Amino acid sequence: MTAMGSIVIKEKGISSTLNWKVSGLDNGVHLISRFNNGVSLSYKNKTFGEFANGISPGKEAGFSILSKSVIDGGFLDEDDTSDVVLGKEVADKLKKESNDGVIVKSGEKIQMLYQNGKKRHYRVKGVVDTKDFIATNSVFVTRKEMENVLGLKNKASEICVKLEDPAALNEIKKDIRGLDTGGKILTWSDKAGFLEDVMKGVDVIRQILSGVSLLLTAVIISIIIYINTQSKKRQIGILKAIGAGNSVVLSMFMIQSAIFAVLGIALGSGIFLGITNYLKINPISLPFGDLVPYVEKNLAITYVLAFFFSSVLAGLYPARRAAKGVIIDSIRGE
């Protein structure tokens, strides 16, 4: 539920008055507080432990994507003290087997046993799928309900801070430390840094594949031009016999390499754009989000130019060999 340019202050029992201090910081900060509690969930004959979040539905709507990620039913309202919203994975595990796609639907009843021993029965108001591991494995109730059950007022387990300017992240983190919060101060990269590691790994693989692709392109173009020079030996010999210089023959095959490169770029770009547009409409669903292709313009231009020049240069060697051939041997086809 957190995003780039966000900070989370975590500590069980943080005073909500810290909200006022943090909200007084400059650089445009937006914040909400949540209260977390381990609970035991029961649905029919199935019981297991899970994580419950006490939230302020009205504030969440303008802060996180929770209210926009409902896949069944609706989202909580401030006065919904008898309703809960389930993360998709929780709804899945409660119904049958995990990852089978069969979930508890809105309107069904579940039971929650809190850590202080209090038991509550709730109606499932909705199911959310944020593509966030923590959120999809959580249960959401209103802060009002959790405070009533636990007997706590003006307390929070975490205060989430969202910045208008992500570039000010380190500065705001430093300012929050100066408030002496007493809790752990975590940035987006601290909480979900593994995604950055995944992306770095993907980037290394991309670079390796790009290098291999350029090498294969050069080899294929070189072979094609070589075959063409061998099949056109007589024509080359006749051209040289009537006065065409080596540069003419060389240029002829280099132009041919350039034409192959342009056709390859055009065909490859068409296929790539087609796949990209399809995946934008039908993204690949992963546990931590939807995989949607992103085309960086400067990087795409770099690859196109690298492909073009590697293709042209690949045809240079066989073209030079053909241009330097002896006229009589070329006419004989030797």
Q: What is the pLDDT of residue 283?
A: 77
Torsion of CA 148, 153, 157, 160, to 10 degrees: 110
Go through 137-165 and write b for each residue having 16 or more CB atoms within 10 A of its CB, e for each that does not: bbbbbbbebbebbbebeebbbbbbbbbee
Residue 169 pLDDT grade (very low, low, confident, very high; cuts 50, 70, 90):
low
CB 72 within 8 A of CB 127: yes
Q: What is the pLDDT of residue 5?
A: 46
Residue 273 pLDDT grade (very low, low, confident, very high; cuts 50, 70, 90):
confident
Residues 114, 149: Cα–Cα separation, whole Å:
8
pLDDT tens digit sequence for 180-216:
655 677 666 666 666 667 777 778 888 888 888 888 8
Would you list the DSSP string of 166-179?
Answer: GGGHHHHHHHHHTT
Averaged confidence pLDDT in the chain: 77
Mean pLDDT of 274-301: 77
CB 85 within 8 A of CB 142: no
Task: Tally the residues of the chain.
Answer: 334
**108, pLDDT greater than 80:** yes
Would you list the DSSP string of 87-103?
Answer: EHHHHHHHHSSTTSS--
β strands within the chain, DSSP E: 6-15, 29-43, 46-55, 70-73, 83-87, 109-114, 119-128, 138-142, 155-163, 184-187, 284-286, 289-291
**240, pLDDT greater than 80:** no
Mean pLDDT of 276-281: 83
Q: What is the pLDDT of residue 125?
A: 93
Structure token pair of residue 307: 């492909």
Go through 95-115 and write b for each residue having 16 or more CB atoms within 10 A of its CB, e for each that does not: beeeeeeebbebebebebbbe
pTM: 0.59
pLDDT tens digit sequence for 294-307:
777 888 888 888 88
